[in-house]
Amino acid sequence: MMFKLLSLIAIVIITLSCTEKQDEKVGLVEQDIVYTSDGTSMKGYLVYNGDVDGERPGVLVVHEWWGHNDYARKRARMLAELGYTALAVDMYGDGKQADHPDDAGKFAMEIYNNIETAEARFNAAYELLKKHETTGQDKIAAIGYCFGGGVVLHMARIGTDLDAVVSFHGSIQAVSPAEKDKVNAFLLVCNGADDPMVTEEQIAAFKEEMQNANVDYEFINYESAKHSFTNPIADSVGQQFGLPLAYNEKADKDSWEKMKALFNKVFAEN
């Protein structure tokens, strides 16, 4: 799919009705925040460690094709526990979620077929996180899972000002290929070697694209790992719907450690 991409300015509006609570056990401050993108209400989840003083790097978390759900929020909390301000974004609008692959596929294709809308929604969340009082404005990264992995790679490809982008079992095909010297972020792609949704041809094309565009990247192919290898409920969902999904604890833990090392490196440099 090829689309003419436009530079969009996202305007973020945080509603006065956002809710906040604090997990006293670990000092996490959690906020359900409603913001807007082109008039659409977006329901995000922001979390940070209230016991840490001063600004810290921010990380956007883009959900799987199921929508903004508890799994995306879990990963945001894990990032907050590491000392970051994390925002689990809403790419579908109004916190919309799918319970069936048919609906999830429909929601995802609506975004990919309207790429300017996708960019605007990501940018709205980006600006919200960047302007938050706890976030160091020049230190922002993004991670994504499955559908979300494709989203964050796309935003890096078009030159979004990110320090690093991590895709976990995400789509790697380009909506618009990276242009030479335009990508600002270091890209870490964590893929399952046994994921039938990512072919060898796609991997070869991705690597060639990155090399031609002078992108700093690392591509890790985890042996015996299938699609959704980071999600503990992948096996049950795969069995329920007949999908090639499976949790892989080794790949899950190693990919998270690789992300942590990358963030330590890029945020120390900037």
Could you tell me the residue ranges of all domains in the chain? Answer: 19-269
Distance of alpha carbon 148 from alpha carbon 175, whole angstroms:
14
What was the pLDDT predicted at 5? Answer: 31
Q: How much is the pLDDT for 26?
A: 67
Name the architecture of domain 19-269: 3-Layer(aba) Sandwich (3.40)
Distance CA 160, CA 119 (A): 10
- Number of neighbouring beta carbons within 10 Å of residue 181: 10
Going residue by residue through the chain, which has 270 residues, state the pLDDT in tens, using 9 for 90 and above: 333 333 332 323 333 234 555 555 569 999 999 999 988 999 999 999 999 889 999 999 999 999 999 999 999 999 999 999 999 999 999 999 999 999 999 999 999 899 999 999 999 999 999 999 999 878 999 999 999 999 999 999 999 999 999 999 999 999 999 999 999 999 999 999 999 999 999 999 999 999 999 999 999 999 999 999 999 999 999 999 999 999 999 999 999 999 999 999 999 987
Dist. CA 156–CA 186, nearest whole Å: 9
CA distance 14 to 8: 19
The predicted model scores a pTM of 0.91
> Which run of H or E residues covers position 218?
strand 217-222
How far is the C-alpha of 103 from the C-alpha of 34, rounded, in Å? 23
User: What pLDDT was estimated at residue 137?
Assistant: 77
Predicted pLDDT of residue 16: 29
Quote the pLDDT of residue 136.
86
